[in-house]
Amino acid sequence: MSRTSSADAELRSARARLVAAAQELFARQGVGATSPRQVMSASGVGQGSLYHHFPTKRDLAVAGVAATTADAVEKARADLRGDSAALERIGAYVGRRRDALAGCKVGRLTSDQAVMDDGDLHAVVTQYFTDLLDEVTATFRETGLGAAAARDRAHAAVAIVQGGYVLARATGDPGAMHAAVRGFLSLLRASDGAGPASGGLASGGLASGGLASGGLASVDLASAGPASAGPASGGPASGGPASGGLGGEVSEASPPCAAASGPAEPDVAALRPAEPDAASPEGVSPAGAPSGIDPGSVTRRPRRRGESA
């Protein structure tokens, strides 16, 4: 190998080590709380190489976040693309072994204000979830669902994973994520006509410690214990630190994350009072008595002279 080729290889290696160290530190303590010096120390790369590849902390943050999202979407594609039945691939994606208590490396970025306030970083995270939803939607379309229904189920599948992380971290119990996955797959089996869901373990569907075959992949959830009932709550992924910026090295900030959509419209028809009987305007019976009163029981007074009928 020539001297030039050797130097280029060393530069590429130094950059890769810096990015890998940044990914780990961002996942553990957030982008805002991580300094370039910490990344340099963790990577074993010298200061000259650090600033050669990443002159600012923002440059390092963009590279680290982009690498994390790229790794995550490739793992999802590996689960969702293949020759097995579509629902088996969905089962492989949602039921993949994950460190539930560590949280999702991408999901936690949504709780990092340094990421959400920076246009480029925010865009990288948004693109990850867009690409992931596209992959899951395409897999559901293979089952014969229409575009809208497939997209809805894709949102549900991704939300189960993200919400599972939140529940596991909040309760300190990885079984919370496993229970969310079991419940979701049981509902899928029921809607696919593979058998009724039983609110817990579907008969002949979810085996102890994993998913039995017969429509959905056999996904290893051996460490899952029985989980308490209740739907996984939505909301942002569990958390990295919300405080902290990019060390003053970012001169421009993007608008904050778009507000979530509002609550569903109420059922106006259910709130509207019942229409009065067409034959009885204003709730009065044809005989002149209020509704619900026997007209025969009403004593009529004599009409005064000059009083109209």
Segment 204-215, tens digit of pLDDT: 333 333 333 334
Confidence of residue 305 (pLDDT cuts 50, 70, 90): low
pLDDT in tens, 91-147: 999 999 999 999 999 999 999 999 999 999 999 999 999 999 999 999 999 999 999
pLDDT value at position 11? 66
Q: What is 183-235 written as a DSSP string? A: HHHHHHHHHTTS----SSSPTTTS-TTB--SSSS---B-TT------SPPP-S
Per-residue pLDDT for 239 more than 50? no
User: Which residues touch 221 (CB under 8 Å, ≥6 apart)?
Assistant: 95, 178, 181, 182, 209, 210, 211
How far is C-alpha 96 from the chain's CA centre? 16
Report the distance separating Cα 64 and Cα 16, nearest Å: 10
Per-residue pLDDT for 12 more than 50? yes
Report the distance separating Cα 291 and Cα 293, nearest Å: 6
Residue scoring higher pLDDT (74 or 281) = 74
Residue located via tokens 């050669």? 52
Per-residue pLDDT for 158 more than 90? yes
Lookup: tokens for 235? 């909301």
How far is C-alpha 32 from the chain's CA centre? 23
Report the distance separating Cα 157 and Cα 76, nearest Å: 12
In this predicted structure, which of 108-117, 127-136, 151-160, 223-232 has the lowest mean pLDDT?
Answer: 223-232
Structural domains of the chain, with CATH: 68-191 (1.10.357.10)
Per-residue pLDDT for 303 more than 60? no
Report the distance separating Cα 94 and Cα 235, nearest Å: 18
Report the distance separating Cα 238 and Cα 106, nearest Å: 10
Residue scoring higher pLDDT (36 or 271) = 36
Give the C-alpha distances (Å, rounded to integers) separating 58 from 14, 54, 203, 253: 18, 8, 52, 11
Residue scoring higher pLDDT (265 or 82) = 82
pLDDT mean over 65-77: 97
pTM score: 0.63
Give the C-alpha distances (Å, rounded to integers) separating 266 from 225, 263, 269, 271: 38, 9, 9, 8
Residue scoring higher pLDDT (162 or 299) = 162
pLDDT value at position 281? 44
pLDDT mean over 205-229: 39
Q: What average pLDDT is seen over the chain?
A: 74
Per-residue pLDDT for 292 more than 60? no
pLDDT over 70 percentage in the chain: 59
pLDDT value at position 215? 40
